[in-house]
Amino acid sequence: MPLFMDTHRFEGEMPPDEEIAKAHRADLEEQGRHDVRYLKYWVSREAKVVHCLVEAPDAETAARVHVETTGSGPEEIYAVDERT
């Protein structure tokens, strides 16, 4: 299944870590209904961004889970290839 990286940008103060983790847990609870798998996420407080790595049939489906769980989708989402 294709891999996607999405980006959530924050203006002003970022939410606390627990709020970000709660949003990720909500994605995990919802993911099965959409045939997606949220694999990992990264937080950069310096850049005021959160990146999520997700397996999904397409970018729209990956973004839809965020919209359903948090009310907003990522600002960017793009396909990525795993490299070692």
Give tens-digit pLDDT for 5-59: 999 999 999 999 999 999 999 999 999 999 999 999 999 999 999 999 999 999 9
CB of 84 closer than 8 Å to CB of 66: no
What's the order of all strands across the beta sheet hosting 76-80? Answer: 37-44, 49-55, 3-9, 76-80
- Domain ranges in the chain are 3-80
At the top level of CATH, the class of 3-80 is alpha beta
pTM higher than 0.85, yes or no?
yes
Return the C-alpha torsion angle 66, 11, 46, 7, nearest 10.
30
